Amino acid sequence: MTHALFIYGTLMPGLRLEAEMHGARFIGAAKVPGRLVDVGRYPGFLPGDGLVTGEVYEVDDAHLARLDEVEAMVPGDRAASQYWRELVTVVDGPLKGQQLQTYVYNRPVEGCTPIPHGDYRRYIREVGRES
């Protein structure tokens, strides 16, 4: 089975964990409702107002299971997971209006820096951070 997955941070091409996406099929750029925060070496996606810029890929079950490990998601145990896969609706992009999965940050965000424009690539350029 295949799954549409929205990515918005270090898994994107040119960033630190891009190799984890090798073998996935690129569908296109997209925006989904939500917001980003800087949680250290990567961003955290949170449901909410605003738009988050990212990309949609098609992945199979085995690839999704590997990404769950990368994202510290423990299937069946949300409390133990750093990220949790949830459905979001695409508001701009090739799958506009469709629901797909993304990794939502599952830890407290007090003290984290907001990324108000929702674009992680732009943010790391603005703050001069290595990806």
The predicted model gives 56-83 an average pLDDT of 98
- CATH topology for 2-127 is Hypothetical upf0131 protein ytfp (3.10.490)
Residue 131 has pLDDT above 70, yes or no: no
Nearest to 52 by CA among 17, 105, 91: 91
Q: Where are the domains of the chain?
A: 2-127
Q: List pLDDT tens digits, range 54-64.
A: 999 999 999 99
